[in-house]
A and B are shown apart, each in its own frame.
Chain A
Amino acid sequence: MSSIWERVAGFLVRQRNNPAIATISILLALIVVFSSLSDRFLTIENFQNVSRSVSAIVIVGCAVTLVMVARGLDLSVGSVLAATAVTAAFLAANGVNLWLSYLAALGLGLALGALNAIFVVGLKVTPIISTLGTMNIARGIAYLITPSAILVGLPSEWALLGTGSYFGMPSPTLFAVAFVIFFSWILNRTVLGRHVYAIGGNEEAARLAGVNVNRTLFLLYTTTGFSVAIAAIVLSSRLGSGDPNIGIGFEFDVIVAVILGGTSLAGGVGRISGTVIGALIVGFLSNGLNLVGVEPFWQYIAKGSALVVAVVLDRFAGREGRSKKTKEAPKGK
């Protein structure tokens, strides 16, 4: 019988090529460092806090992971978050049935996602420009609904979805877990998931193999809009208000999480589990810096550096992958 250490060593050897090993190491290093700097860090309560605060990043990050694996991008998620949150709050505050308000928010999320899809798929505008456009459109909608004011005076049931905890997990965390399970299933077990990888890996090959590229991309962008609306409902329920200013910089956190998680900017590579780890890195970084008493401004610098580091890591990984490709003899004419 092999000893436990041999098994551990064997496991580690098998994992040496796992692309997630670098990000998991970063996460563990962060936890170790902040644990030694603050005795309030390594507590169940604090971990619950972090999981609650990253839940929106995870919920949206799952959908954005699919978009980015398919070689797309969505910069509009932060603004769509605000527009849908404000829509739900505005309707609820004006006496509309709570669930109908939520339904309206989900509808708006879908519509804004569809708008991205129309720009990208229908009008063939690059994803970065398309979603930058929608980003501003959605923010405008949020301010139009409630100019410069935070909506309060919401019904008491408003807090139902976003507060409280079940099975020892805060409610938003449960939503995030559900999303992670659902999107992992989509990406790993369904035809759709295969098509997402194929489109990101080689769109032309996918198209020639009979993958309906346009329909798939349309689905991914609308799904993202829908997921953002769910995140918005959970988040504003937790905050107890509808704020047109929420979600500024949210798209940045989501993209950092997805990239840190190993999703390649060049498409075709990425996993939901990676995005979860990426989101936790983002969450623990903010939380740890807060606890240690670092000024919030420094957190921007930390997150910005993390993004660039992540992209550099992505490029090294990509280069390794490319060098493995067999060379072929070019043919003369």
Chain B
Amino acid sequence: MADRTVPRIAGEQGAVASARETSPKPGPLLSATKLEKLFPGVTALQGVDVEVFPGEIQCWIGENGAGKSTLIKVFAGYYQKDSGTTSVNGLEVDIEDPIHSLSLGMSFILQELSVVPGLTVMDNILLGHEVSLAGNVLRSRQASRAKILLESIGFGSISPRELVASLSVAEQQAVMVARALHLDANVIFFDETTASLGAEEAQKIFKVMEKIKGEGKAVVFVTHRLDEVMRVADRVTVFKDGEIVESGLVSEFSMESMVTKMVGREISNVFPEKDREPSDVVLELVSVTTQNVQNVSFTLRRGEVVALAGLVGSGRTEVLESIFGLEKLSSGEIRLKGQRLNPANPVAAINAGIGLVPEDRRSQGIVALRSVEENLTLSWAGRTEKKGWRKKGVGLAKDFIDKMAIRTPSQKQLIGLLSGGNQQKVVVSRWLATNPKVLLLDEPTRGIDVGAKSEMYRLIDSLARGGLAILLVSSEMTEVLGLADRILVMRRGQIAGELDGSTSEEEVLKLAMLEKETT
């Protein structure tokens, strides 16, 4: 079935293919040694050694930003390594681009699905490799080929002629797997594929993994759910800060030891002292339920920093969005200073005194082609200041540039030309100009360098001391632990527990990742 040879690009791939046939002992299908990948200001991977063997399911675990996705992207040919070697079937090869990666026998099932929803199942599976005669697609041959592939992974129930758009997420992932098998992939990567799946659907994907493994191929599975690791993995590789801290058989691990391995790092003194004194309650959520979160209740006080922790997709951002009028409440209440608010849109939230520094600065925070001054006064002009704002705006921008130490030649500079940290300071200033009561920060230090990060931490602290109520979402545990007075841990759209700001990373991760309640 899957042993059909895909037409390969001539050259080293041919050599690899023949090496595969003649290789006497089962060496690794895929390996990397001393792999390094640098981004401006960040070392994403350093000295990474990894081996993937035939007939195994290897789980990669680690915090957000630990380097798992970066390593996948190096194998997939999206990023080029800076140093070190990568080998396929024992032969050293530089992976040039995604097509090259594919021809080397690697396939990737990503969280964001890369299926074409408007095409049928068979057209998706055979996309780019259609069974055709003189340009005409042979539909029945396509259908039977697709059927065989789907049956081989236990998804024979999917009709090849169905539209992909009508399938469930797990079924769409199965289509991607069938496509990978059709392309003769030997190593199939699953990048957090189960994050958006329910338990039943996830089971189906695990069966697919077992099938792939049974054929002497390899599965690399990135997941944050440690119970899944215990269930399917043969081997576990733990990532931390761009390095691999441990790799071994799953029997050598327990869920607790995995968490410990993922953490084990000191929080440096970049964080200000947490001796703030929160006063009266400003914001209160009572059983807030939306499409994405259920029954979320908490309070936020003046002068307090509260963090929402949890995995990507656990509903943290959605809580902020509901407070900012971007998510419709199906039930529950949002109160500001005791008054029911339930904002219908951002304008209502802002007028009530709420500001949001959004998750993706570039696509949601700034207008890159306009000046620092315009970006800074965007919410203030015409709202807080109705008349004479043009002259005052320039003064205001200058004040904030001084006060916040925004490094820019002048307030007229295009914001797109500033560094990430300075752009973020402008976005924060935009809200401070409107005199808010509550500031929502979604990943405020994403993509900014270390120095700018500690500046941002001091800023957040001084804002809280100035009487602002701050709700912080961050995927960086150090940040959450270093800044927050209280930590609300989210899991699957609900608050799984509340921890004191002096808690440990392990406690937070346990609440966020483990299905069993530990507190």
Contact = CB atoms under 8 A, between A and B. Distances in A.
Given A325-B416, A329-B41, A333-B68, A205 B312 contact: no
A124 interface: no
Interface stretch (B10-18, B269-277, B377-385): B377-385
Contact of B39 (A268, A269, A324, A329): A329
Contacts of B430: 209
A211 interface: yes
Given A205-B366, A209-B379, A211-B378, A330 B346 contact: no
Contact of A329 (B42, B351, B383): B42
A194 interface: yes
Contact of B374 (A197, A207, A212, A327): A197
Interface string A56-87: 00000000000000000000000000000000
B244 interface: no
B230 interface: no
A191 interface: yes
Contacts of A207: 346
A301 B326 CA distance: 49
B350 A210 contact: yes
B417 A268 contact: no
Interface in A174-224: 189, 191, 194-195, 197-198, 201-202, 204-212
B364 A205 contact: yes
A215 to B, nearest CB: 9
Interface residues of A, number: 30
B192 interface: yes
Interface in A219-263: none
A321 interface: yes
Contacts of A205: 358, 363-367
A93 B69 CA distance: 73
Interface of A: 189, 191, 194-195, 197-198, 201-202, 204-212, 268-269, 321, 324-333
A268 B347 contact: no
Contacts of B367: 197-198, 201-202, 205-206, 268
**B-side interface size class:** 35 or more
A333 B447 contact: no
A201 B67 CA distance: 33
Given A325-B416, A332-B64, A332-B68, A206 B378 contact: yes
B378 A327 contact: no
A191 B381 CA distance: 6
Contacts of B40: 327-329
Contacts of A212: 347
Contacts of A202: 363-364, 366-368
A332 B416 contact: no
Q: Which 4 pairs of residues, A with B, have the shortest CB-CB distance?
A: A329-B39, A191-B382, A201-B367, A332-B69
Nearest to A215: B347
B265 interface: no
A94 to B, nearest CB: 45
Contacts of B416: 321, 324-326
A257 B373 CA distance: 30
B446 interface: yes
Nearest to A212: B347
B346 A208 contact: yes
Contacts of A268: 367, 369-370
B108 to A, nearest CB: 13
Contacts of A330: 39, 70, 447
Contacts of A321: 369, 416
Given A326-B420, A329-B447, A333-B64, 11 more contacts: A197-B369, A201-B370, A204-B364, A205-B366, A208-B326, A210-B350, A324-B414, A324-B416, A330-B70, A331-B447, A332-B44
A204 B44 contact: no
30 contacts: A191-B382, A195-B382, A197-B370, A198-B370, A202-B363, A202-B364, A204-B364, A205-B363, A205-B365, A208-B324, A208-B326, A208-B358, A209-B378, A210-B346, A210-B378, A210-B379, A269-B369, A324-B416, A324-B417, A326-B416, A326-B418, A326-B420, A328-B39, A328-B40, A328-B447, A330-B39, A330-B70, A331-B65, A331-B446, A333-B222
